[in-house]
Structure 1
């Protein structure tokens, strides 16, 4: 389900691009700078407006739950006060998270990219991409949850910690390849088609019990911790390398971070399945 939730938006956005932007010859991107509105709007009022925007974003979830609870199921909420308080915490938590991204993770990713480019030693850029991909993935809450659920559902056939390491390794490899594409200026199309061709081949070879989990693990890597740093890294590299377009070359690292965990997990399952069969034949 997570895999489909990740793949279908790719199709819809590209269809939108084909319909809306077909025929436009310019690939140039205008970088707009946000004006300082501190003189016009006070900090407190701005905070209230941003909280209202968060409420607007969460409102469809609330309306969906209320519709199914009262109209479809025709039952009241078991503990309305507790649920309302929980949604209030969600709104404030999302607001704090977005502010934290703007103040912390985005500037760090962009700053690191700029400083590494100034050194003119691309080996350190590859090393940073690999290490930041591995480290951020190991810290992903979604990966922790999926790994634990998979371990419980598989009844001992899957090790949650091994899955985390394999996914983190896949993300690290994928981001390193994506950074290499930005540095050398290669076309995104061939890298993505090559990656998914490898995924299709491994899907045909891998044990059935690992295929759906592998695709889901590729989706959960694009979560709260990984996306901001990796996206900022790609944009920072593209903005500071001559001849690169921020829109064309700066984005796409998350796609590599989604593909290669699928590759590492299914490759591991294929090797372990082959090794187990070989041991059984010997015994």
Structure 2
């Protein structure tokens, strides 16, 4: 009975969160439709049906994340915290960081929008790989920080200094993409599964406070796409310069 109550509570909380996110947008669309857009009725119905389907999908996704990924991630994190060989931690961090970001819906949407907005001059698949690789590297460093008790400022401060330097040197198009990529990379999967991993790993370590050592991974994930996407921009810019030379 208690388990059913917990599940029902999560269902209600998730439904409320989705409603809070979607209903104002739907109301805004209806207001614009009445006073400005005046789209054909068929097109309006298609938009409303699509919004309903997206809401149902978002509800199921968030519910599955909250019920499945949180305990699953914490259990894997506790196993990682007990691993003694550092190269296993590196391999696990790279793999989990990459595949988690690869499955993040917002990252894929951003990659598709970059491809469309640039008319294919900036391939979306390259942006997707750059974000996934960047997050994988920084998730690995986050795990090593937890295992070895490294203060987060030792990673965070140099990371953001490097990000600012790369932004200053990079093309303005890639700066905008990198900043947006930083936001979408810290989506539902990162904020549930990877954060649960970090908390689980820190709780498995002796003499470590999960609040001090387990939290902070999302901040590392946020800086990762800024660095990787701006580096991608520098590489693409250098390639274009070589192609322009006679």
Taking structure 2 as the reference length, what is the TM-score of the superposition?
0.82
Indicate whether 1:212 and 2:176 are aligned: yes
Q: CA deviation at 1:202?
A: 0.8
Cα distance in 2 for partners of 1:49, 1:212 equals 37
Indicate whether 1:262 and 2:226 are aligned: yes
Structure 2 stretches of 5 or more lacking a match? Answer: none
Cα distance in 1 for partners of 2:243, 2:148 equals 45
In the alignment, which residue of structure 2 is the partner of 1:36?
2
Indicate whether 1:200 and 2:164 are aligned: yes
In the alignment, which residue of structure 1 is the partner of 2:104?
140
Indicate whether 1:185 and 2:149 are aligned: yes
Output one character per residue of 1:96-116: Cα deviation in whole Å (capped at 9) or x when no partner.
Answer: 223311332222211111123
Cα distance in 2 for partners of 1:153, 1:210 equals 12
Q: Could you say what secondary structure the match of 1:120 adopts? A: coil
Q: CA deviation at 1:247?
A: 2.1
Structure 1 156/82 Cα, relative in aligned 2: closer, same or farther at 3 Å? closer
Output one character per residue of 1:239-264: Cα deviation in whole Å (capped at 9) or x when no partner.
Answer: 11122222222122122222122212
Across the two proteins, how many residue pairs are aligned to each other?
Answer: 244
Cα distance in 2 for partners of 1:272, 1:82 equals 39
Task: Report the more deviating stretch, 157-166 or 230-239.
Answer: 157-166
Cα distance in 2 for partners of 1:198, 1:266 equals 11
In the alignment, which residue of structure 1 is the partner of 2:196?
232
User: Which structure's residues are more often helix, by fraction?
Assistant: 2
Indicate whether 1:272 and 2:236 are aligned: yes
Structure 1 67/276 Cα, relative in aligned 2: closer, same or farther at 3 Å? closer
CA contact (8 A) 2:78 2:202 kept: no
Output one character per residue of 1:29-62: Cα deviation in whole Å (capped at 9) or x when no partner.
Answer: xxxxxx9365xx597x757744663435544444
Structure 1 187/119 Cα, relative in aligned 2: closer, same or farther at 3 Å? closer
Q: CA deviation at 1:171?
A: 0.6
Larger-Rg structure: 1
In the alignment, which residue of structure 2 is the partner of 1:129?
93
Indicate whether 1:117 and 2:78 are aligned: no
In the alignment, which residue of structure 1 is the partner of 2:129?
165
Structure 1 104/279 Cα, relative in aligned 2: closer, same or farther at 3 Å? same
Indicate whether 1:249 and 2:200 are aligned: no
Output one character per residue of 1:15-41: Cα deviation in whole Å (capped at 9) or x when no partner.
Answer: xxxxxxxxxxxxxxxxxxxx9365xx5
Taking structure 1 as the reference length, what is the TM-score of the superposition?
0.72
Q: Could you say what secondary structure the match of 2:82 adopts? A: helix
CA contact (8 A) 1:51 1:91 kept: no
CA RMSD of aligned residues (A): 3.1
